[in-house]
Structure 1
Amino acid sequence: LTARNWPCNLECVLCDQIEETATHLCLHCCFAREVWVLIRNWTGQLIPVPGMEEEDVEDWWNKTPAPLSKAQQRSTAAVLMYTALHIWKERNRRVFVGK
């Protein structure tokens, strides 16, 4: 939004604590971390909560399913995509709908 000169708040709309980046939004935001805790519990620990040391979404994304079987990798990738998408959709709902 900033690149298009759209007036916006640079802080994360999900936590209002730190400047929003892709890594923060998907991995480090307290809202996202709560979502990942729920996903971890729902998947029986198959998908871990991202650590605060994670510096890049792509690196975390690639290493999370790596030790799993091919079948588990596919289902894990699907859950990762679905979860990240819905974190993004919640962010957009708050930015554009204002809730």
Structure 2
Amino acid sequence: MFVHCRFSQQVWLRLRQWSKANFPVPDCSFNCTEDWRLAARELAPKHLRSDFDTFTILVHWQIWKERNSRVFQQKFHTVDRVFEIIVEELQSWRAAGCVASL
């Protein structure tokens, strides 16, 4: 779901464009989420890897919540709305001191 799902890929693409960060978008070239995460994390400067880890947790959490909303409540958000929710949440996390540089 996190790597091979087209919806998830579109969310990650929007986030990459927004952040201007050079990380690979999850796709079928990765076997699993962990393969993608390790490859993407390796590209992050060492001083930003902790923030990258936090960022990926946030994105996965929001994608998971979207999946559950679709399955259990039949409520659907667009890629753009999920992206907006992630950015809003990231700003809150930044204000709380959970991430510094994103």
**Class of the TM-score when normalised by the shorter of the 2 chains:** 0.5 to 0.7
Distance in 2, matches of 1:41 and 1:80, equals 15
CA contact (8 A) 1:36 1:49 kept: yes
CA RMSD of aligned residues (A): 1.4
Gapped regions of structure 1 (runs ≥ 5)? 1-24
TM-score w.r.t. the length of structure 2 is 0.65
Paired residue type of 1:51: D
Gapped regions of structure 2 (runs ≥ 5)? 76-102
May I ask how many residue pairs the two structures share in their alignment? 75
* 1:65 alignment partner in structure 2: 41
Q: Give structure 1 regions of 4+ aligned residues with deviation exceeding 3 angstroms.
A: none
CA contact (8 A) 2:12 2:26 kept: yes
Answer 1 or 2: higher relative contact order, Cα 8 Å, separation at least 6. Answer: 2
CA contact (8 A) 1:40 1:47 kept: yes
Larger radius of gyration: 1
Q: Deviations over 1:8-65 (max 9, x none)?
A: xxxxxxxxxxxxxxxxx10121111110101111221333212321111111112211
Instruction: Say which structure is richer in helix.
Output: 2
CA contact (8 A) 2:23 2:43 kept: no
Distance in 2, matches of 1:92 and 1:51, equals 21
TM-score w.r.t. the length of structure 1 is 0.67
* 1:33 alignment partner in structure 2: 9
Paired residue type of 2:42: A
